[in-house]
């Protein structure tokens, strides 16, 4: 069996790859593995279960709840809430496990199962591996040990989670948002109620789009993967800024008053300066990934802030932050982690903090984001090559060295093997877009010839 867990839970086409049987079996396996690890020792275990509005989330939630309860875990159903809300409530309620049903920014037919450990943190890799092994072992025929009578889990709805999460968001804001007009694009997703309510309670004047989920329209031409509607709405309504979430609202991208995109790197730059000013940027460091724009790195150097770069993926950003005690990290895609207030990327919190900075300074978002100049970045995927040789090919190494000499200090080359496909990603940044295109094209040709 191939690996079920990716970097962000188990994901696939609902009712094809991700079936009710798989969701139920993984939930039972997770309960058994956590029991073996001592997580449930000395008390009756509890799990928080939430989902995004996808139609498939209805039957998958039922399967997860059934699996957990059959394994003796009491379940609190919090309904449709963002992924970071489920993570927060897992910690705030002292639950032993959190489960979120969402495929994030993926199209509607997909869905996913993501587990959170006690405290609302992502499960460690070794626990995910163990859950897979135990699931496969019992799928092959070994019977589960099942509680009976009063030992089975009880299931209840926890409706207070909505207000509890919003109160948390408002409580950690450095200042109110009075006088700021914001357009919110909720991607017809999990934040469709939460985000507008939070911004309104914080004092912002809001215009909301993409907030009418019907189970089928999540991420459909809206949200953080399709900014066009938001860009038009911000200009039309004369708003100070726009905020876009993905389906489960763990991401945030923004739009300035002129309708220009403000990406995750720019948001990180704005928040890094705000947190340093407030004495909250521990070790004067922000965490990004190897895909962070070179302009972000140059801006942080100019501002005297250290930048630590990890592999691509918010889980690697989070691992670095937790290991070293950093307070802020994230990705260009809009996953921003403020570790003092969230255990995972929280798009609503990120948007609130960005709007709070606009309110506190009286400056436009364009002015604040101007702390960095986003250098042109060209990405070419080269398929059907031997990606295992990307670090050992002498011909490729020589071509990269030549490209780096040509680009100098204001350019960058990054070659990455895809983790899921037989291809190599060629990324080139340069001060000039035409130079970036030319260098990337030449490197892609060398990848084809050297690794083909």
Sequence ranges of the binding site = 104, 246, 248, 250
Contact between residue 104 and residue 10 where contact means Cβ atoms under 8 Å apart: no
**What is the DSSP code (8-state) at residue 384?**
S
3-state secondary structure of 238: coil
Q: Of 49, 15, 8, 33, give the one whose Cα is nearest residue 136.
A: 33
Contact between residue 349 and residue 169 where contact means Cβ atoms under 8 Å apart: yes
Q: Rounded to an integer, what distance in angstroms lies between the CA atom of residue 170 and that of residue 353?
A: 10
> Could you identify the residue written with the tokens 């972000």?
296
CA-CA-CA-CA torsion sign (302, 304, 305, 308):
positive
Asked if 70 is an active-site residue, the reply is no
Q: How far is CA 228 from the centre of its chain?
A: 21
Partners of 381 in beta bridges: 425
Contact between residue 209 and residue 243 where contact means Cβ atoms under 8 Å apart: no
Q: Which of 56, 104, 224, 292 is catalytic?
A: 104
Number of other residues whose CB lies within 10 A of the CB of residue 235: 15
Q: Rounded to an integer, what distance in angstroms lies between the CA atom of residue 250 and that of residue 246?
A: 7
| Helix or strand holding residue 291 (H, E) | none
List of residues 6+ apart from 346 with CB closer than 8 A: 82, 84, 88, 249, 250, 336, 337, 338
3-state secondary structure of 346: coil
Enumerate the known binding-site residues for Mg(2+). 104, 246, 248, 250
3-state secondary structure of 59: helix
**Active-site residue list:** 104
């Amino acid at each position: 069996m191939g690996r079920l867990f990716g970097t962000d839970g188990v994901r696939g086409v609902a009712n094809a790859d991700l079936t009710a049987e798989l969701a139920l079996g993984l939930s039972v396996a997770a309960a058994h593995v956590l029991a073996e690890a001592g997580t449930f020792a000395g008390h009756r275990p509890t799990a928080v279960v939430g989902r995004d509005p996808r139609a498939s989330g209805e039957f998958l939630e039922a399967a997860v709840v059934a699996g957990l309860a059959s394994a003796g875990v009491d379940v609190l159903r919090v309904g449709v809430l963002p992924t970071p809300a489920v993570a927060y409530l897992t910690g705030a309620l002292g639950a032993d496990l959190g489960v979120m049903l969402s495929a994030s920014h993926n199209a509607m037919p997909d869905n996913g199962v993501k587990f959170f450990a006690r405290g609302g943190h992502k499960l460690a890799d070794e626990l995910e591996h163990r859950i897979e092994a135990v699931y496969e072992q019992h799928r092959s025929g070994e019977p589960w040990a099942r509680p009976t009578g009063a030992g089975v889990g009880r299931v209840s709805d926890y409706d207070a989670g909505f207000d509890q999460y919003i109160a948390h968001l408002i409580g950690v804001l450095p200042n109110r948002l009075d006088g700021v007009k914001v357009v919110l694009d909720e991607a017809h997703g999990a934040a469709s109620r939460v985000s507008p309510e939070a911004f309104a309670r914080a004092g912002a004047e809001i215009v909301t789009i993409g907030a009418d989920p019907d189970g089928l329209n999540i991420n459909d031409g809206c949200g953080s993967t399709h900014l066009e509607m938001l860009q038009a709405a911000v200009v039309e309504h004369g708003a100070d800024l726009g905020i876009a979430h993905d389906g489960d609202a763990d991401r945030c991208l923004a739009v300035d008053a002129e309708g220009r995109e403000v990406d995750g790197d720019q948001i990180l730059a704005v928040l890094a300066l705000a947190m340093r000013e407030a004495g909250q940027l521990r070790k004067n460091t922000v965490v990004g990934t190897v895909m962070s724009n070179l302009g972000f790195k140059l801006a942080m150097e100019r501002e005297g802030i250290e930048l630590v770069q990890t592999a691509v993926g918010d889980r690697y950003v989070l691992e670095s932050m937790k290991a070293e005690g950093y307070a802020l990290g994230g990705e260009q895609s809009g996953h921003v982690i403020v570790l003092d207030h969230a255990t995972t990327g929280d798009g609503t919190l990120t948007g609130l903090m960005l709007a709070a900075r606009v309110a506190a300074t009286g400056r436009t978002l364009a002015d604040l984001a101007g702390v960095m100049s986003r250098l042109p970045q060209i990405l070419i995927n080269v398929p059907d090559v031997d990606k295992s040789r990307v670090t050992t090919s002498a011909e490729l190494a020589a071509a990269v060295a030549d490209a780096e000499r040509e680009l100098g200090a204001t350019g960058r080359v990054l070659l990455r093997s895809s983790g899921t496909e037989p291809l190599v990603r060629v990324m080139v940044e340069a001060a000039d877009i035409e130079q970036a295109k030319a260098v990337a094209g030449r490197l892609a040709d060398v990848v084809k010839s050297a690794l083909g």
